[in-house]
Amino acid sequence: AAGEIDEALAALSGYRDRPMGTLRLTVPRLSGTLLIEPLIPRFREAFPDVVLDISLDDATVDLVTEGFDAGIRLGESIDKDMVAVRLTPDLNWSVVGSPAYFAKAGKPT
């Protein structure tokens, strides 16, 4: 019996370097477009045995209750009991328009 267990463990150890199965992610729509979508082709090439199940949802989702493996969130919407890893530097937003528009509408606050 011990020999069979050793053989089974040896067979399983071959899967450590080759992830497989379904990876369920919940991602805000904006992050899906900016971060995830460009990476999908490289991810699929690197991990062909992993099926991505990505939910694009701007609502705050309980990862455990909803059965997700991980989620991407904006910094201010991370639960205190979650482990967070920064994916990007802080993002800066700009408002752009023609000088004529700003002359008429005024400078945005």
Q: Which domains does the chain have, with CATH numbers?
A: 2-105 (3.40.190.10)
- In this predicted structure, the answer to whether residue 14 has a pLDDT above a threshold of 90 is no
Q: Is 51 helix (H, G, I), strand (E, B) or coil?
A: strand
Query: Under 8 Å CB-to-CB from 108, ≥6 apart: which residues?
Result: 95
- In this predicted structure, the answer to whether residue 58 has a pLDDT above a threshold of 70 is yes
**How much is the pLDDT for 55?**
93
**How much is the pLDDT for 76?**
66
**How much is the pLDDT for 46?**
92
Mean pLDDT of 6-31: 84
Q: Is 79 helix (H, G, I), strand (E, B) or coil?
A: coil
The pTM assigned to this predicted structure is 0.66
- In this predicted structure, the answer to whether residue 91 has a pLDDT above a threshold of 80 is no
Amino acid type, 48: P
- With 0-12 / 13-18 / 19 or more C-beta atoms within 10 angstroms meaning exposed / middle / buried, residue 31 is buried
Q: What angle do CA 57, 85, 51 make, to 5 degrees?
A: 55
- In this predicted structure, the answer to whether residue 44 has a pLDDT above a threshold of 70 is yes
pLDDT tens by residue, 98-108: 888 888 888 87
Mean pLDDT of 54-80: 84
